[in-house]
Amino acid sequence: MSDDKFPGWHGTTIIGVRRGGRVVVAGDGQVSLGQTVIKGTARKVRRLNPGGHEVVAGFAGSTADAFTLLERLEKKLEAAPGQLARACVELAKDWRMDKYLRNLEAMLIVTDGADLYVITGAGDVLEPEHDVAAIGSGGNYALAAARGLMETDLDAEAVTRKAMAIAADICVYTNGNLTVESIAK
């Protein structure tokens, strides 16, 4: 189908908040096709355990593309156990250089409990300045809400949940059915 006839997949808000020695990653459950909600309970945040080193990852974009990237990330982590930054950079390099991977449409937020990164298909591995990262259609809403909530005494999970609730109230492609994973280092 041509792009103008196919309404396209929309949706997803993923947020990661680092605070008090913990990182909490949450994702909504909505998958939309055009104006239609296809599913409201998708799991877009996963725990990975390559080589016994636990990592939490959340993804936005095409599900098949995101799973491909998660599998590649696991392989990179197995090759460099406990070195999340190195694995992320290697994945980003492959993603940018490989003809097959270059066409994947997804973004990832990954954390090992200490570090928090956003990985993009443009070859970027970004570390947030203010201990908050967000991606997806409602990512900017969640990011703004969480940045404001970081001024309070709320813990990482409370900031994450409140920011996601705000994003779900604003973004029509985001719902309140959350998958929340927490990891400490």
Rg over alpha carbons for the chain, rounded to the nearest Å, is 16
Query: Pairing relation of β-strands 116-119 and 125-126?
Result: antiparallel
Q: Which residues pair with 82 in a beta bridge?
A: none
31 with 9: CB under 8 angstroms? Answer: yes
List the structure tokens of 59: 């993804």
Which residue among 12, 111, 160, 174 is the active-site one?
12
CA end-to-end distance (rounded Å), the chain: 46
User: What are 156's strand-pairing partners?
Assistant: none
Its sign, for the CA torsion 170, 47, 132, 95, is negative
* Strands 179-184 and 106-111, bridge-based pairing: unpaired
Active-site residue flag, 12: yes
* Catalytically annotated residues: 12
